[in-house]
Amino acid sequence: MGFLGIILALTGAALSVTLTCIGSAKGVGMTAEASAPVMIDDPSKFSKLLILQLMPGTQGLYGLVVTVMVMLNIGLLGGSPDLSLTEGLLYFFACMPIAIGGLISALMQARVTVTGVNIVAQKPSESGKAIVSATLVEFYALLCFIASMLMVLNISRLGL
Amino acid sequence: MSLVPMKRIEIIAMQRDAKKIVETLQRQGVVDISDLTPCAPDETDVAPTSPSIAQLDRHIATTTVAISAIEDRAQVKKSLLSGFAGRSEMPFDVFSREVKRADDYLRIALSIETQRRLIDSERLSISHTYNRLQQILPWQSLDIPMQYKGTDKTAVFIGTLQGLWTDLSFDDAFRESYSNLFGADSSDPSHAGDSDSTSTKSATVSTVLADPSASIHFPPYVIEWIHTTNMISCLCLMTHKSDANAVEATLRQIGFIVPTDPTTHPPKHRIDRLRARIKASEALIAEADAKLTSYVEDLPSLYFLLDYLNMRMEKYRILDHLLFTQKAFVLSGYVPSHRAEDFRAKLESKFDIVVEIDEPSDDEVVPAQFSNNILVSPVEDIVMTYSPPTRKDIDPNPVMSFFYYLFFGVMLSDAGYGLLLTLGTFFVLRVKKPEGAKRKSMLMFMYCGMSSVLWGLLFGSFFGNAVYAIGHNFFNSDIALSAFWFNPVEDPMKLLIVSMILGFIHILAGLALKFVNMFRQGHRLGAFFDVGLWWVVFAGFILIILNMVMTTSAPLGTIGKWLAIGGAIGLVLTQGRRNPSIPGKLMGGIASLYGISGYFSDILSYSRLMALGLVTGIVGEVFNTIGTSLGSGIVRVFIFIPVFLFGHAINLGISALGAYVHTNRLQYVEFFSKFYEGGGKAYQPFASATKHFKIKEEI
């Protein structure tokens, strides 16, 4: 039965990094595509555009961190993994906030950064506002991350 | 440490001095000139500067293009850091000397422009000539003019057919078309017998006689293939004059095309001519190119010219905004108070001038400038990006800068990254000597880096857990950088609580600034109602929380409860005070309690401090783990080094970016919303906005 627990926990961990990375890849890609024509016009806007491009990329990072924390906690990285079915299921669910929230927030944030590219194109002096708008969306990815993180870290304390 | 007080300045002077006065203003660089709205169009006239502006615009464009052309040739390398470089200094006497030579420099720029145009047009003509050459090249071996129509007895057709042709395939096609066209009536005269090869041009000449067995008499012809490829076949066909019309019709049927631009001489002649023309163009280009290269040493002069033209452009823009009467002109703007008197004295000593200095009236939007010490001033641009302050705002920079560096440090939270950031920015500051906004942002990141070093040490993070990873895996030692405070990876809850406490302090500081500002403006009671009562509520909540976490005999919980309730009642009673009716006042007061949820979500928002701090630490550890887990012995070292460098470079980049954006957001959304309104405009003194040289004024 020990296997089933690990399978579930790893499924959750894998989904956490995969879904968030899909979201981030799509988001960064959308923004980078939108920036290309602006850079043709004025290559000096590269640094401002780069910030916008990278912003939907952080969700993938949050996903990875949760994945690593799961692996550390179930003893997959050095240690002997021994997990009950219940624990495995708990790890699986603990990964869901960042997996789903990260995926969707990256896509939503990308829509903001794409419009932000317009701001940089037309009024570079206002680019700070475009960036702050994008952090408004990012915050919800952060909340999901914190939720997943705290859950993952505390499951082992339950002693199931 | 505050907003610089501004005075309104009005200058009335003689028209003949206008240019000189404007130049003086430009060199002093202290007056923010506001746009004048003409008071009465019949009294004043706008100076006719537009033609000069148009001309300057043209010259600036020419010079800009000339500079980029010469920079290409000089192979001026623009490094990533070159954007940070400051301007080089130019003493005023050098400047005045250079100004006298500006016309020469302009001539250089114009000559560069001419050479560049010449190169462009010659390149175009080469490509045009080349195309014509490509068209005529297949005809190279034809030794008669392409326009040649034949002799008295013969007709010659020169032209092309699509695709690859041979004697046989042509003969088949010719016969088939001929029979289709003329098969019905064989009335056409047959000259089958007397086709004699008058031309014996080459060995490839093939004589195909009409098939005597057929009922139709095909006209005899001689064909020579000048050039054949899969795409096109060039041919020269000769036939008897009397057959000319029939043969032509047949040829057209097959798809014969007469060249659009046939030569009057043998094609070789034209080929030689075109080749000579290309050579001539190439020589011209080389000559112009050499001339351009010889201008490389004039590059600094061109930089000077561009700066000088831009300065004049600025000057004319201002002159354009002046109000002129027959003899005098008026100019108004804003000057920082501490420079106003000095400035007036300087102007009055030089010109016949009336300078009036006033306090600006309350409804004016006065340009704003911050004046802070070197620790605080780097964040000024962060505030300006949000919105420049009006005179009603308090300068948020001193308080904000402290929290800015603090939060950035918590989020980056790695001593190694902090060290890199500090050293990197320090290097740019020392070597490139950036000016203005670039210098400020470099300074800001330097302080942020220092703060990251501090927090990295508190959290025991140096390139993640690099000290432990390297020591453990390569030196068999259990050395590790222990945290001076606590390791957030092991105890994230603690960091979460620390983050929220820091956030709470940040919000309290924002409210304190609001209190100070309201007090300063004379709303003393308002300050107490709007800020003080919230503090009472907060104090109550803090006591309640303390009561929960501490075991103490003091009735903290009860005191806290009553404090919170008392504060809340106070808020209900006072927050609706601007509403006219009693029920309105009460409703406004009750609605204000909803603000509690606002403060609650504000404080939660600081959980990002913890999240970003953790991400930096854990991703750093992940790269260290990957780097140390592959290979063994010396191989492992060679795998570790690139993984370490690459991994940490990425992590530093993304984490620093995250720390920067989220610090900004915490200031803009959570902090500024408490007290800062903005909506002013930034102080932009009329000065020499040069790009390459900083002209040092003699004082």
Whether residues B614 and A65 touch (CB distance < 8 A) is answered with yes
Structure tokens at A154: 């505390």
CATH number of the domain that residue B222 is part of: 3.30.70
Average pLDDT over residues A47-63: 87
Nearest to B654 among A54, A136, A149 (CB): A54
Whether residues B661 and A135 touch (CB distance < 8 A) is answered with yes
- Residue B608, chain A, CB below 8 Å: the answer is yes
Q: Which of B198, B229, B258 is the last residue of a domain?
A: B258
In a domain, B47, yes or no: no
Please give the interface size between A and B, counted as residue pairs whose CB atoms are below 8 Å apart: 71
The residue ranking higher by pLDDT, B412 or B600, is B412
Is A29's pLDDT higher than 90? yes
CATH number of the domain that residue A153 is part of: 1.20.120.610
What pLDDT shows up at residue B142? Answer: 86
Residue in this structure with the two tokens 């012809």, named with its chain if needed? B221
Burial of residue B248 (CB within 10 Å: 0-12, 13-18, 19+) is: middle
Structure tokens at B218: 């095909």
In a domain, B312, yes or no: no
Nearest C-alpha of chain A: how many angstroms from B615? 6
Provide the 10 A C-beta neighbour count for residue B518: 20
Whether residues A146 and B605 touch (CB distance < 8 A) is answered with no
The string of pLDDT tens digits covering residues B380-429 is 988 888 888 988 888 999 999 999 999 999 999 999 999 999 999 999 99
The string of pLDDT tens digits covering residues B82-104 is 667 778 888 888 888 888 888 88
The string of pLDDT tens digits covering residues B638-687 is 888 999 999 999 999 989 988 998 999 899 888 998 899 888 888 888 88
Nearest to B662 among A54, A135, A149 (CB): A135
Distance CA B258, CA B253 (A): 13
In a domain, B111, yes or no: no
In a domain, B699, yes or no: no
What pLDDT shows up at residue B81? Answer: 66
On average, the pLDDT of chain A sits at: 88
How many domains is chain B built from? 2
Residues B411 and B552 in one domain: yes
Residue B433 vs residues B378, B412, B696: alpha-carbon distances, Å = 15, 26, 16
Residues B251 and B376 in one domain: no
Q: Which of B258, B286, B302 is the last residue of a domain?
A: B258
* SS3 per residue for A8-54: HHHHHHHHHHHHHHHHHHHHHHHHHHHHHHHHHHCHHHHHHHHHHHH
| Of the listed ranges B24-38, B512-526, B614-628, the one predicted with least confidence | B24-38
Q: What secondary structure does DSSP assign to B349-375, as a single string?
A: HHSSEEEEEEPPPTTS---B-EE--TT
Q: Which residue of B has its CA nearest to A148?
A: B611
In a domain, B31, yes or no: no
Whether residues A64 and B622 touch (CB distance < 8 A) is answered with yes
What pLDDT shows up at residue A2? Answer: 62
Q: Which domain range does residue A107 map to?
A: 2-158
In a domain, B121, yes or no: no
- B219 within 8 A of B210, measured Cβ to Cβ: yes
Residues B429 and B563 in one domain: yes
Average pLDDT over residues B30-35: 78
Nearest C-alpha of chain A: how many angstroms from B662? 7
Average pLDDT over residues B149-168: 87
Average pLDDT over residues B606-623: 89
**Confidence at B43, pLDDT banded by 50, 70, 90:** very low
Q: Which domain range does residue B495 map to?
A: 371-673
How many domains is chain A built from? 1
Provide the 10 A C-beta neighbour count for residue B578: 9
Nearest C-alpha of chain B: how many angstroms from A8? 22
In a domain, B436, yes or no: yes
In the stretch 469-508 of chain B, residues with CB closer than 8 A to chain A read 492-493, 496
Q: Which residue of B has its CA nearest to A124?
A: B385
